[in-house]
Amino acid sequence: MKDDIKHDEFGPKKILDVYDSKTKMRGFVVIDNITLGPGKGGIRMTPTVTVKEVFRLARAMTWKCALAELPFGGAKSGIIADDKVISKEQKKAIVEAFARALKPVCPSMYVAAPDMNMSEEEMKWFAEANGSMKACTGKPADMGGIPHELGSTGFGVYHATLAALEHVGIDVKGATVAVEGFGNVGSFVAKYLSEAGAKIVAVSDSKGVIYNKDGLDFKKLRKVKDETRAVKNYKPGEVLPNEKIFELAVDVLIPAALPDVITEKNVDKVKAKIISQGANIPIPHDIEKVLHKKGVLVVPDFVANAGGVISSYVEYIGGKPEQMFKEVEERIKRNTKLVLEKAKEKNICPRDAAMEIAKDRVKKAMKK
């Protein structure tokens, strides 16, 4: 499994295979690069998670942490288990066995966090079994955690979007916005942008899209979603199929849910002026280049959605929610502006500019 992972000057530094005979726990950790600090990255639990998948995510964390100017490197881990078929007791035993197995590297070289099928309860088990509160972030508030419900990622995407609007000379007041996904990222982006005066004209969830060219009332939309579990029940508005949200003529499109939503199949139908990526990999990298040639400004995922890892850093140093909001705003604003200015100056797509900045920061630290 490790044979198809190609090492380069950045890493990976360590790949650990862990197994516990008592619980039948099988998992692995990829510590990619720890030049800037311990590797930061979540634990995902799925029956199909692979070392290669975890390595790709660990490398993405190396760039995300470097770009956010955090004293963290990149890492990620996976546990092979089906969350839907094991009991809570089995899951707890597996997470605890995983945490104990990682004592030699955690938290000195690896700081964990919740990812797929993991939450603050699992982080509580992990920290207690590992024996260090610094072993992971995403813990419950009574253990010093900063709750996910505060919407740090969405708050960061909001500030990245403000920087992008300013970059192209569009006033946020009256700017039209479409948000794909009304979960923990999309709902907060919609909230903050509507409060800033933007006009949210379309929002989607798994059941469909609600569209109103005159704008949607966020508070009313939030109530409809909470009560009916579907944004399409908002009135007045036109219900559209999910794929149509990517074709609307808006100032800003925010993909904040699924990967690979804009591909070669629909890239020619995109009419947005700015795409601010709330989700991870919502657009393949080669398609971002196509959009760049079309004149669409794309703020890459690891630039726009770094609010979550910045929040993790504030938790790691014992900070409070107020400090988290301040750090997210300052770091995302500063680095989005830096990326967009570099992209414009060199006439390259923003992802290439962001990668140049992130790689340069890691290389400089490696030389030291």
State the CATH number of the domain containing residue 41: 3.40.50.10860
pLDDT at residue 2 in the model: 59
Q: Are residues 229 and 330 in the same domain?
A: yes
Q: Are residues 211 and 89 in the same domain?
A: no
Catalytic residue among 13, 40, 64, 76: 76
Structure token pair of residue 13: 């530094």
SS3 317: coil
Position 270 in a domain: yes
Position 15 in a domain: yes
Position 146 in a domain: no
Q: Are residues 126 and 231 in the same domain?
A: no
Taking CA atoms, 58 is separated from 39, 196, 249, in Å, by: 8, 35, 36
Q: Are residues 119 and 53 in the same domain?
A: yes
Nearest CA among 336, 331, 304 for reference residue 154:
304
Q: Are residues 197 and 294 in the same domain?
A: yes
Q: Are residues 92 and 186 in the same domain?
A: no
Is residue 293 flagged as an active site residue? no
* Span 122-137, average pLDDT: 98
Percent of the chain with pLDDT over 90: 98
Q: Are residues 201 and 348 in the same domain?
A: yes
Q: Are residues 135 and 156 in the same domain?
A: no
Cα–Cα distance measured from residue 340 to residue 277, given in angstroms and rounded to the nearest whole number: 14
Q: Are residues 134 and 156 in the same domain?
A: no
Q: Model confidence over 304-320: pLDDT tens digits? A: 999 999 999 999 999 99
Q: Are residues 125 and 169 in the same domain?
A: no
Domain coverage including residue 97: 2-63+72-139
Position 147 in a domain: no
User: For the chain, where are the E strands, in sequence order?
Assistant: 14-20, 25-33, 39-40, 43-46, 73-80, 110-111, 176-180, 199-205, 208-211, 238-240, 252-255, 274-276, 297-299
CATH code of 214's domain: 3.40.50.720
Q: Are residues 26 and 170 in the same domain?
A: no
First to last CA, the chain: 33
Position 295 in a domain: yes
Residue ending a domain, choose from 104, 139, 174? 139
pLDDT at residue 330 is higher than 60: yes
Q: Give the number of domains in the chain.
A: 2
* Span 36-44, average pLDDT: 97
pLDDT at residue 149 in the model: 84
Q: Which DSSP string do the residues of 202-216 spell out, in sequence order?
A: EEEETTEEEE-TT--
pLDDT at residue 3 is higher than 60: no
